[in-house]
């Protein structure tokens, strides 16, 4: 293969998502003379725009899908190759793309992202959501649907059950409360009433519509209903590739076949026992179907709580698997338990000269006590940026230390139309019983939870416009003993910022 190399680049980055593109930008601006190649399976690349450092560790930005020429114009030494990597040969420092080209590299960074961890593979009635194609498929199928079942209790499920209108949604969660990857039961209780109320009308269209839309066709349980008739529309056509992200649902119509109502029925503490097609159900012994008629739905889902629901399709919102497949074969990559490429504190994998960043990798260095990896947009950006710096530092023989952004976990997002800020060990992760909680909650307005360990703040969940993120971030980073303040810490009548000046 070595002889067939079309060209050897100093740096090759695989993947045109946030991690890969940020890595390319960092490398190209740090060493402008270096030949850099970005190899990506997707026709468009994702770039970070309107980046804003909210506080020491919190950041906000928009993400835009752009043609790769934008990047090539900015960095003349960059070549973008639109093809998927088919095989990697770390010994000969070369890789082959699906269109049969072979490229050599001095340093490689794998930013191949992840794919949905589906409940079951190759069942046409089980959908996952990851990229533009899968979002469009969801939109298309939803426009004809009367009932769907959403399985999973993380980010995608939270967004979907809130956004879908005109279609009954059965939401099956393994846990006692909603949103287990982000919240505890208290926060879940604060958020639940939002499923019963109307979504606020959006007076401005989405800032960055990215998806083609089609007009939809006409047209221990807990049930929530809300009415709304408004429909949103986006524009701009793209093809499959990188993961969606914040606001992915803003540019598409998530409307079922019926008129604009949100109807969510929650099934707690249950998993999926079996998924049947209508024919399978007819051929199998009688099932407990309640009022369902066998044959009236294309697919049926049996839950471990004994209930079976017929529906138009099932959304498997059950997490992400790192996309390691094409890179592993014939190489010696160490993998983490979650299937990610293990990386050290310089974003290096176990193979020489191969780095990795974003959803594809698992951070295997000794973490700061206040940081954990979550497969999020912000972390993809931070890892891509830091990997670029590490690759450049190695080439320039410069020392580099783990970046400050890995000191404290921080995430800003929106669920059920509330601003949500998560800091540090926001759910007491890894603390066992060695922590206490302080909670302040005003129904419909805000939910503030502080996690304390040994008298020091180690995490927080802030829902609503609390304006506390910067102060709490400082208190966590300063490791100040807060014992003397006790519950005053959350006293709404005290301006906490002045308190700690």
324 binds ligand FAD (CB under 6 A): no
115 binds ligand NAI (CB under 6 A): no
Do the Cβ atoms of 111 and 22 come closer than 8 Å? no
Among 30, 56, 77, 84, binds ligand FAD (CB under 6 A): 84
191 binds ligand FAD (CB under 6 A): no
Residue 313: half-sphere exposure toward Cβ, Cα within 13 Å: 21
320 binds ligand NAI (CB under 6 A): yes
271 binds ligand NAI (CB under 6 A): yes
Separation CA 130–CA 17 (nearest Å) = 12
Separation CA 93–CA 37 (nearest Å) = 14
> Residue 84 binds which entry of ligand FAD, ligand NAI, none, with Cβ cut-offs from 5 to 8 Å by kind?
ligand FAD
Between the alpha carbon of residue 350 and those of residues 345, 354, 398, 402, the distances in Å are 12, 8, 21, 18
108 binds ligand FAD (CB under 6 A): no
Tokens of 255: 């409307």
267 binds ligand NAI (CB under 6 A): no
Query: x/- site string to ligand NAI, residues 347 to 386, per CB under 6 A?
Result: ---------------------------xxx----------
Q: Please, which residues have CB within 8 angstroms of residue 183's CB and are 6 or more apart in sequence?
A: 177, 191, 427, 461
Min. distance of Cβ 88 from ligand FAD in angstroms? Answer: 9
Min. distance of Cβ 219 from ligand FAD in angstroms? Answer: 25
In this structure, the strands spanning 313-316 and 147-151 are parallel
- Per CB under 6 A, the segment of 184-192, 299-307, 370-378, 400-408 that binds ligand FAD is 370-378
18 binds ligand FAD (CB under 6 A): yes
Do the Cβ atoms of 275 and 123 come closer than 8 Å? yes
Please report the sign of the dihedral spanned by the C-alpha atoms of residue 165, residue 169, residue 174, residue 175.
positive
φ/ψ bin of 426: left (φ > 0), alpha (ψ from -120 to 50), beta (otherwise)? alpha
20 binds ligand FAD (CB under 6 A): yes
462 binds ligand NAI (CB under 6 A): no
User: For residue 228, which phi and psi values (nearest 5 degrees)?
Assistant: -165, 140
Number of residues that bind ligand FAD (CB under 6 A): 38
Separation CA 60–CA 80 (nearest Å) = 27
Specify the residue for token string 């949905």.
Answer: 116
Query: How are the residues of the chain apportioned to helix, strand and coil, as percentages rounded to the nearest 5?
Result: 20, 30, 45
Min. distance of Cβ 303 from ligand NAI in angstroms? Answer: 10
> Residue 157 binds which entry of ligand NAI, ligand FAD, none, with Cβ cut-offs from 5 to 8 Å by kind?
ligand NAI
Among 96, 159, 407, 446, binds ligand NAI (CB under 6 A): 159
In angstroms and rounded to an integer, the radius of gyration of the C-alpha atoms of the chain is 24
Q: Which residue is nearest to ligand NAI (CB)?
A: 154
Min. distance of Cβ 275 from ligand NAI in angstroms? Answer: 12
Query: Restricting to residues 400-459, which ones interact with ligand NAI according to CB under 6 A?
Result: 413
> Residue 317 binds which entry of ligand NAI, ligand FAD, none, with Cβ cut-offs from 5 to 8 Å by kind?
ligand NAI
Cβ nearer to ligand NAI, comparing 354 with 361? 361
Separation CA 179–CA 167 (nearest Å) = 21
Contact positions vs ligand FAD (CB under 6 A): 14-20, 39-42, 84-85, 111-114, 129-130, 155-156, 241-246, 248, 323, 326, 358-359, 375-378, 380, 413
Contact positions vs ligand NAI (CB under 6 A): 119, 151-157, 159, 174, 180-181, 271-272, 317-320, 374-376, 413
């Amino acid at each position: 293969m070595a002889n067939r190399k079309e060209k050897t680049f100093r740096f090759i980055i695989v993947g045109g998502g946030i991690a890969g593109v940020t890595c390319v930008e960092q490398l190209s601006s740090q060493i402008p003379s270096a030949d850099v190649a970005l190899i990506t399976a997707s026709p468009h690349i994702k770039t970070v725009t309107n980046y804003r450092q909210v506080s020491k560790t919190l950041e906000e930005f928009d993400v835009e899908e752009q043609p790769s020429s934008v990047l090539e114009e900015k960095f003349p030494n960059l070549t973008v190759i639109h093809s998927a990597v088919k095989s990697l040969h770390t010994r000969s420092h070369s890789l082959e793309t699906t269109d049969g080209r072979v490229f050599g590299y001095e340093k490689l960074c794998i930013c191949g992202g992840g794919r949905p961890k589906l409940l079951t593979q190759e069942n046409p009635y089980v959908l996952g959501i990851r990229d533009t194609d899968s979002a469009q498929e969801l939109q298309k199928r939803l426009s004809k649907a009367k009932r769907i079942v959403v399985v999973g209790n993380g980010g995608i499920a939270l967004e979907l059950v809130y956004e879908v209108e005109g279609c009954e949604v059965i939401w099956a969660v393994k846990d006692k409360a909603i949103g287990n990857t982000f919240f505890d039961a208290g926060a879940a209780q604060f958020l639940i009433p939002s499923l019963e109320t109307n979504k606020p009308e959006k007076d401005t269209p989405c800032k960055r519509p990215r998806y083609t839309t089609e007009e939809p066709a006409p047209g221990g349980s807990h049930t929530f209903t809300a009415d709304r008739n408004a429909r949103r529309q986006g524009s701009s056509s793209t093809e499959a590739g990188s993961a969606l992200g914040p606001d992915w649902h803003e540019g598409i119509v998530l409307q079922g076949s019926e008129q604009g109502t949100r109807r969510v029925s929650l099934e707690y503490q249950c998993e999926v026992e079996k998924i049947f097609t209508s024919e399978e159900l007819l051929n199998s012994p009688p099932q407990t179907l309640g009022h369902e008629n066998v044959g009236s739905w294309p697919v049926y889902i049996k839950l471990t709580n004994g209930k079976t629901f017929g529906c138009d399709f099932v959304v498997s919102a059950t997490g992400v698997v790192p996309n390691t497949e094409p890179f592993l074969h014939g190489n010696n990559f160490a993998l983490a338990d979650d299937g990610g490429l293990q990386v050290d504190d310089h974003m290096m994998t176990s193979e020489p000269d191969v780095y990795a960043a974003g959803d594809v990798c698992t951070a295997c260095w000794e973490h700061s006590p206040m940081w954990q990896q979550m497969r999020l947009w912000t972390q993809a950006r931070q890892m891509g940026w830091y990997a670029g710096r590490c690759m450049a530092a190695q080439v320039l023989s410069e020392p580099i230390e783990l970046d400050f952004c890995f000191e404290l976990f921080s995430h800003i997002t929106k669920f059920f139309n509330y601003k949500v800020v998560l800091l540090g060990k926001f759910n007491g992760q890894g603390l066992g019983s060695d922590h206490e909680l302080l909670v302040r909650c005003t129904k419909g307005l805000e939910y503030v939870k502080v996690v304390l360990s040994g008298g020091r703040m180690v995490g927080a969940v802030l829902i609503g416009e609390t304006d506390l993120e910067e102060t709490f971030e400082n208190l966590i980073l300063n490791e100040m003993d807060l014992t003397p303040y006790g519950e005053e810490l959350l006293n709404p009548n005290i301006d906490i910022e002045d308190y700690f000046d």
